[in-house]
Amino acid sequence: MMRIRKNDKVMVLSGKDKGKTGTVLAVDPRNDRVLVQGVAIITAHRKARHPGQTGGIKKMERYIPSCKVMPICPESGKPTRVGCRLLENGSKVRYSKRHDESF
């Protein structure tokens, strides 16, 4: 079970975007990477390949390692570690170790 999921609010811990927050757009568990909105922006020069398609310089996010981001606790708004516990019905749920609240 990965500690970061799509649509989680996360904070960047290190790198050029340290301290920025954003929403997770995609998760790549096989390569242990995440795509965060507004973080790790790159400039890509794209050529128009089909009729009606426009080319040009486009800004887009790139994947960053998941170890460089930490989920934000919904209660306090601060970064928190994430734990995992089993419920009585046998399902797993994530919880914030800062406030012992599930999210």
Strand partners, 69: 12
The Cα 85–Cα 87 span in angstroms is 7
Note the pLDDT of residue 99.
86
Residue 2 pLDDT greater than 80, yes or no: no
Average pLDDT over residues 17-31: 96
Tens of pLDDT along 65-102? 999 999 999 888 899 999 999 999 999 999 999 888 88
Q: What is the CA radius of gyration of the chain?
A: 17
Note the pLDDT of residue 100.
86
Confidence category of residue 28, pLDDT binned at 50, 70, 90? very high
Burial of residue 1 (CB within 10 Å: 0-12, 13-18, 19+) is exposed
3-state class of 27 per DSSP?
strand
Confidence category of residue 4, pLDDT binned at 50, 70, 90? very high
Tens of pLDDT along 42-61? 999 999 999 988 899 999 99
Domains and CATH numbers, the chain: 9-46+56-102 (2.30.30.30)
Residue 6 pLDDT greater than 80, yes or no: yes
Residue among 31, 48, 38, 51 at smallest CA distance from 10: 38
